[in-house]
Amino acid sequence: MQPVRIGLCGLGTVGQGVLRVLKRNGSEIARRAGRRIETRIASSRTPKPELDLAGIEHTTDVFQIADDPNVDVLVELIGGEEPARELVLRAIERGKHVVTANKALIAVHGNEIFEAAQQRGVIVAFEAAVAGGIPIIKAIREGLSANRINWVIGIINGTSNYILTEMGENDGGYGIALSAAQRLGYAEADPSFDVGGVDAAHKITILASIAFGIPLNFPGAHIEGITSITPVDIAYAGELGFRVKPLAITRATDGAIELRVHPALVPKDRLLASVDGVMNAVLVNSDAVGSTLYYGPGAGGEPTASSVVGDMVDVVRAMTVDPTNRVPHLAFQPDRLSDIPVLGIEDVATPCYLRMLAADEPGVLARVAQFLSDRKISIESVIQKYREVHDENGKRWVPIVILTHAARERDLNAALAAIEAMDSIRGSINRVRVESLDAAP
């Protein structure tokens, strides 16, 4: 049988990983796929004389690959929204299958891309877009297809997880941890996408669609980064029995879907609380099997190449399958997606950790408790240690840490605004949601 001809767009860390894996495991992969996979052409913005590209044509014009009649599958590893979107749509128009590792592309433009692919009868595979080497798309889309999914909660940004882990273990602080993540090659080109939560929001948007059969809705995601977390919060969370983790959450509630990214307190005894450093993990709760956990490297050349090449094998196997019988891109048949709305963050209810600086004088704690009670927010625990701070006038302030029971965000916002307006509260209140990861929704 003729080999399947690949056009590789991008020769960065992942592109090079793909070439290495194909070279090392080529004959095993051919035994699995049923045909040999041959890289015909590869592109990079500038020539790469340092790479061994023997037998592979090289171009600096990525669109040449989309137009090449000798390419069966375009592998998009250039990242970002444009020109990746234009490139992929052009390849689809030319009847090529596409494999991509590009989460921004799928989360933001996936609806348009899948519709074009559907019409043209080609496959767009995107396993590497979420959690790097962990085959989480396939696990949810195919392995769990018997189940009604209740929720998916993941640590899916390695850079943020690395920074929070370092801040909890060493004295280095935020800046030093971020530089280390960059040096290790985990961070995005623009690390604000990592620490600001956008990277994880792209990924959880994709997981929400395949879990619940809804169109991709990136604008609906609530996004908060980890930059408000301090070593002090990590230490208090520890005293309360929690670790602070950068979570991405999607959950089915009554008639709506939660879709949110933010740091959260996770009980120390949960497996997710032990996922440290740059490792990723995704916990899926569904009705038949219960909770299942998927753990592994979420970034890096060969881990991501593992997913990219796995997709190539899937594409090769599916090339001869009638397009109407293939695994649907978003797990559910395209004409059976439902338009369940994404829940606004104000209507989400979670327990919350609050840290504030209060004047060291009688009645302050009582008034804070009253404002919470006015909004029917119940307190689970309070820590007030005598770690006084003196201001410029010699006035004494002490930190108060409160853990609430589940409260609707709208009520909490109102209570916190009232508390922050008190003369005896200084500055703003630091708050972090709590995710207990209970099986029940």
Residues near ligand HSE (CB under 6 A) are: 132, 157-159, 186-188, 194, 199, 298-299
d(CA 303, CA 29): 16
Tell me the closest approach of the beta carbon of residue 5 to ligand HSE, in angstroms: 27
Nearer to ligand HSE (CB atom), residue 13 or residue 253: 13
d(CA 193, CA 205): 15
For residue 78, give both structure tokens. Answer: 């250039």
Nearer to ligand HSE (CB atom), residue 130 or residue 252: 130
Tell me the closest approach of the beta carbon of residue 15 to ligand HSE, in angstroms: 14
Nearer to ligand HSE (CB atom), residue 125 or residue 187: 187
Nearer to ligand HSE (CB atom), residue 278 or residue 400: 278
Catalytic member of 203, 245, 376, 385 = 203
Tell me the closest approach of the beta carbon of residue 155 to ligand HSE, in angstroms: 9
Which helix (H) or strand (E) element contains residue 225? none
Question: What single DSSP character describes residue 2?
Answer: P
Per 3-state DSSP, the chain is made up of helix, strand and coil in percentages (nearest 5) of 40, 25, 35
Is 388:348 a contact under the CB 8 Å cutoff? Answer: no
For residue 346, give both structure tokens. Answer: 């104000």
Burial class of residue 27, CB neighbours in 10 A (0-12, 13-18, 19+)? exposed
Distance of CA 37 to the CA centre of its chain: 30
Tell me the closest approach of the beta carbon of residue 417 to ligand HSE, in angstroms: 34
Nearer to ligand HSE (CB atom), residue 166 or residue 199: 199
For residue 319, give both structure tokens. Answer: 């090339």
Tell me the closest approach of the beta carbon of residue 80 to ligand HSE, in angstroms: 12
CA distance readout (Å), 238 to 244, 350, 402, 427: 8, 19, 13, 23
Nearest to 156 by CA among 109, 190, 193: 193
Question: Is residue 203 annotated as a catalytic residue, yes or no?
Answer: yes
Give catalytic residue positions: 203
